Amino acid sequence: MQPIVLGVIAGSIYALIALGITLVYKASRVLNFAQAEVGTLTLYATWWVTQRQHQSWWVGAIASIAAAIAIGLVFERLVIRRMLTAPRVTVAVATIGLFSLMIAVELALFAGTIYILPPPISHGGVSIAGVYVNANQWLALGVVAVVAAALAAFLRYTDFGLAVLASADDPVAAQLMGAPRGRISAFTWATAGALSAIAVLLIEPTVGVLAPGAFNGLFLGGLTAALVGGLSSLPGAFVGGLVVGIAEAEVKAHLVIQSIPSFQVTAMLIIVLLVLLLRPQGLLGSRS
């Protein structure tokens, strides 16, 4: 039972990354390699606000999210906006540039020292099904549920949200209906930034320290989740996150082979290959 519960918690955080990847992919057919790294860099803002300015974790969290949104907006304005007609692989390379930039800034400013960020809630927790789930994990589950629901509602029930969805269907036709292509693009990248920051904030307590590239596993999990979900549906990304989280937790719990270092990585590859062989339509996706 324990792996499943832990898997659901990690998986829901993967789902946030997967939502960001899927949203950007739907809107602009670009795979965003920086989806987890933006939040990793901005987490240092949280550290600075809480440890140096002695503000609460929540203030620090807002600082991180705001900084991530700002990075998303600047990147969209200066890079993505100029690449509307560029091949999509080239735009993906631009996001590799953003990824490198985030890593480079982390290395330049913060390498060599271990940064520790206390968790948002220091004690408390409730057991479910015989598994102890601490307060931070509850917080993660709650935040993910609220964020995903809010995003879904925004897209479905507001004019701007509908314009975003229409633009995902057909950007030129949406533009011909008056949907503001530039602001839609800005929105998707800002949202991707915010999702990145939130996901890193939520997963940080399980890692415990900040270091450049410390959350690479988050990107791998999120990308796998997005692809398992079919890259085209937001609910699919969510379910994909849970599936990947649970699968990974099960592997960690039951499959450890001493002679092969980091065997769980190998196990994940084998699982992915098996899923692709046995369920070729993807876990949720349809073939058509």
Partner 1 sequence: MTTGVETTTALRLRGVRAGFGAMTVIHGVDLDVPQGAVTGIFGLNGAGKSVLLKVIAGVVPTWSGTIHLGDDDITKLLPEKRVAQGMAHVPQGRQVFPSLSVEQNLRVGAYTLRRRDKSSYDDRLAQVYDTFPRLRERRGQAAGTLSGGEQAMLAVSRALINDPKIVLIDEPSAGLAPSVVEDLLEVLLQVRTLGLTMLLVEQNIRFGLRLADSGCLLQKGRIVYSGDTKELDQDRLATYLGVGRLLSGDLTVGLGGGAKKAPRRSRRPV
Partner 2 sequence: MLTAAALFIALPLATEHAMPKLLEQHHYLNLDVGIAIAIAAVSLNLLLGYAGQISLGHAALLAAGAFASGIVTSRWHGSMVLGLLFAVVTTAALSLIVGLPALRLRGLYLAIVTLEFGLVMQYSVLRSTVFSGGSAGIALPRRVWGNRFFTDNAVYLVISLLLLLVVWFLDVNVVRTRIGRAFRTIRENESVAQAFGIPVTRYKLLAFVLSGAMAGLAGAMYGHAIGFVNNESPFNFNQSLQLIIIVVVAGLGHRLAAILAGLVYWVFPSFISGLHQWAYIIGALALMDVVSRHPEGLAGVWERRRRPKPADDDDDDGELPALPQLPAPVRAVQAESLPPGSPLLEVDGVSVRFGGLQAVDGVQLTVPTGTIVGLIGPNGAGKSTLFNAISGLVRTESGRIRFRGREIQGLRCDQRARLGIARSFQQVGLAKDLSIRDNFLLAQHQLAGYSDGEALLMLPRASRDEETFRTRADKAIAALGFDELANMPVRNLSGGQQRIVEIACLLVTAPDLVMLDEPSAGMAPAAAENLAARLRDLRDVLGRTVLLIEHNVPLVLDTCDYVYVLDAGRLIAEGEPHEIASNPQVIDAYFGAAVPA
CA distances to 15, 40, 102 from 34, in Å: 16, 10, 8
Note whether 235 binds partner 2 by CB under 8 A.
no
Give Cα 31 to chain centroid, integer Å: 12
Give Cα 160 to chain centroid, integer Å: 23
Give the per-residue contact string, 100-129, with partner 2 (x = CB under 8 A; - = no).
xx--xx-xx---------------------
Nearest to partner 2 of 145, 274 (CB atom):
274
Residue 115 zone, left/alpha/beta (φ > 0; ψ -120 to 50; rest): beta
Smallest distance from partner 1 to CB 184, Å: 10
Nearest to partner 1 of 30, 234 (CB atom):
234
Smallest distance from partner 1 to CB 174, Å: 7
Nearest to partner 2 of 59, 276 (CB atom):
276
Note whether 272 binds partner 2 by CB under 8 A.
yes
Which one among 27, 174, 194, 246 touches partner 1, defined by CB under 8 A?
A: 174
Angle between helical axes of 135-157 and 181-207 (0-180°, round to 10): 170
CB contact set of 268 (below 8 Å; sequence gap of 6+): 224, 247, 248, 251
Give Cα 228 to chain centroid, integer Å: 14
Are the C-beta atoms of 173 and 5 separated by less than 8 Å? no
Q: Which residue type occupies 283?
A: L
Structure tokens, 265: 């990585």
Q: Identify what 224 binds: partner 1, partner 2, none; CB under 5 to 8 Å per kind.
A: partner 2
Which one among 118, 125, 142, 182 touches partner 1, defined by CB under 8 A?
A: 182
Identify the helix (H) or strand (E) that includes residue 224.
Answer: helix 216-228
Smallest distance from partner 2 to CB 86, Å: 3
Note whether 98 binds partner 2 by CB under 8 A.
yes
Dist. CA 174–CA 193, nearest whole Å: 24
How many amino acids of this chain bind partner 1 (CB under 8 A)? 19
Supply the DSSP string of 118-172, one letter for each residue.
--SS-S-EEEETTEEEEHHHHHHHHHHHHHHHHHHHHHHHSHHHHHHHHHHH-HH
Nearest to partner 1 of 90, 216 (CB atom):
90
Which one among 59, 78, 150, 256 touches partner 2, defined by CB under 8 A?
A: 78
**Of 2, 8, 15, nearest in space to 221 by CA:** 15
Residues 209-228 interacting with partner 2 (rule: CB under 8 A)? 220, 223-224, 227
Which one among 165, 207, 253, 283 touches partner 1, defined by CB under 8 A?
A: 165
Number of residues in the chain: 288
Which one among 29, 170, 256, 274 touches partner 1, defined by CB under 8 A?
A: 170
Residues engaged in binding partner 1 (CB under 8 A): 159, 162-163, 165-166, 168-170, 172-182
Residues engaged in binding partner 2 (CB under 8 A): 31, 33, 75, 78-80, 82-83, 85-87, 89-94, 96-101, 104-105, 107-108, 220, 223-224, 227, 230-231, 259-263, 265-266, 268-269, 272-274, 276-277, 280, 282, 288
